[in-house]
Structure 1
Amino acid sequence: MTAPGTTTRPRPPARERRLPGDADMWVMILGDLFFFGCYFVTYMVFRAMSAGRFTASQRHLDIDIGVTNTVVLLTSSLFAALAVLAVREGAWRRARRLLWATGACGVLFALIKAYEWHTEISRGHTIHDGFFGFYFVLTGVHLVHLALGVLVLGVAVRELRSPRGRRPTIVEQSVLFWHMVDLLWVVIFALLYLMR
C-alpha cells in the first residue's frame, strides 16, 4: 500500500539468470576436464615415483617461455570475455574484433609452443624420456584443443557477420570452450614449469 500522493515505479523485469552456452557444451567441457584431470593425476603419480629425475628434467624448460605463453592466453581470455559483453550490448563489430584478437593470441601461443618444442627436441629431449613424455603429450593434446578453439572462434566470427544470424549463444559457447583451454594451460603450466 502506498501513501496518498506518492507514485510507485514499476519494477524493471528481473534479468534471467542462466549459465552461458548450453548443456551440450557444458557436458563436453566437463568431459574434457575429467580426461585432463585423469592425466594430471597420472603425471603426479609418476612424478612422485621419480621425483629427482623429473625435477632434473624440468630444469631444461625455459620458465620465461611458459610465463609468456600464460600471459598470452590470459590476455586472450580477457578479449574473449569482452567479446561476450559486446555481443550482449549489440556491438557486433567490436565483438568480431575482440574475437579476432582472441584467435590471434591463440596463434601466437601455438607459434611460441612450436619454438619451445623445436628447442627441446634439438637438445635431445623426446617423448621417450620420462618427464618429457608427459610434457609433449600434455602440451600436444592441449595444442590440439587450442587449434579447435581457434576454429570455434572462427565459427563465432562468421556467425556475427550474418545480420540474420548473430546468435549470442554461439559466441558464448565458443568463449566457454576458449576459457576451458586457458584453464587447462594454467594447470599444465603449474605442473610442468612451477612444481619442483
Structure 2
Amino acid sequence: MADNENAASEARTPRWRRWLIEALVVVLLVAGIRIWMQRGMVDGEAPALAAITLDGVPVQLADYPDGPVLLHFWAIWCGVCELTQSGIEALADDRAVLTVALRSGGAEAVRAHMKREGLSHPVVLDDSGRLADRFGVSGVPASFIIDSTGRIRYRNTGLTPAWELRLRMAWLEWWG
C-alpha cells in the first residue's frame, strides 16, 4: 500500500518540478563547495606584489592601472592546473594576466614546462610559498581578479573555466 502511495505521489509531481528541484540542489552544492574552498583567501584590498617574472621583468599590481588583472596561482605538478593552462594562455592574449608558479621546482623547471606546453604568459616564481601565503592560497589553481584600484573583485580555488574569468573581467571593464 505504501509503495502505491509513493508511486501515486510521484506521478502527481510534474517531471519539470523534480528536475528543477534537482538542479537547484546541484547549484547549491556547487556554490557551497566554492565558498568552502575560498575560506582563508584574501578579500578586499590586494596585498602588495612586487616580483620579477621568469623573463627578468619587474612587475607589480600597480603596473595594471587601466583595468582588471587576473592573478593566477598554479603549479607544474597540479593536474587541474594543467586543464586550465590553455584557457589562461588564451585569456592572456587580450587581457592583463599575471601567473604565479607555486612551489614548482625553480626557474629552469618552470621554463621547461612553459616551453613544453607552448605557454608564454608572464610568470612569477613562488618557490617559498610566501606570496601564496599573503593571498591566503592553500590550493591551486587559485584565481584573483583585481580591479584598477587594487581591490580583489573575484577569487576562486579550483577549476574555473577561462570563459568565466573572461566574462568577469569584461564585466569589470564595462560596469566596474
TM-score normalized by structure 2?
0.31
| Structure that is richer in strand per residue | 2
TM-score normalized by structure 1?
0.28
